[in-house]
Structure 1
Amino acid sequence: MTTYKELLQQRAELDAQISEARQRENAAALAQVRALVADFGLTPEDVFSSGKTRAPKGETKAGGTRVAPKYRNPATGDTWTGRGKPPRWIQDQDRSQFLIAQ
């Protein structure tokens, strides 16, 4: 039966082997990625993009335009368009005090 100290020594040896193997495999993977990037002329945006397309400024993904905010919280600067569920800072209050001058 192995003792506690022997098991700790084995774990330390395994941790060292794991670290060495990880470094080797990381280096090989990095070399492969660099080769693929060079072969295909990829840019960082090609490699690391989220795949989601962004709508042009002022438009939504559905093609509509954004609605300008109608109300502003003077304490925090938060805004609300007046559409949808009202935020907590304006609920149960007179909305006229939060109107943004047009």
Structure 2
Amino acid sequence: MATYQDLMSQKAALERQAAALTEQIETARRAEHSAVIARIKALMDEHGITLADLGRSKSPVKPAKAAKTGGTAGRKVAVKYRNTATGDTWSGRGLQPNWLKAALASGRKIEEFSV
């Protein structure tokens, strides 16, 4: 029978593996998302299609309701940073996203991602 320490060690290893898999899944999703967007844009350009032709001028996302007390709570803020390779964005509020942390750790400057 395994000891408590052995089981905790196994649990920690599995949690690290799960975190790594989650990151791989997210990376693959972003890559597929970017590829699909690029393909859609290329097809639209090739056939001269605009957003108006599709019957949509904006994103189908419903606007957020303002909080009763703050008035601005829950509203989207403008994007300040964009990863041109993947299309990921960050408004500059809250914690830095993992893609930006990784880029900064590799020596890139935050100004390179400014919109």
| TM-score category, normalised to shorter length | 0.3 to 0.5
TM-score, normalised via structure 1 length: 0.42
| Greater helix content | 2
Higher RCO, 1 vs 2 (CA within 8 Å, ≥6 residues apart): 2
User: Looking at CA atoms only, which structure, 1 or 2, has the larger radius of gyration?
Assistant: 1
TM-score, normalised to structure 2, is 0.38
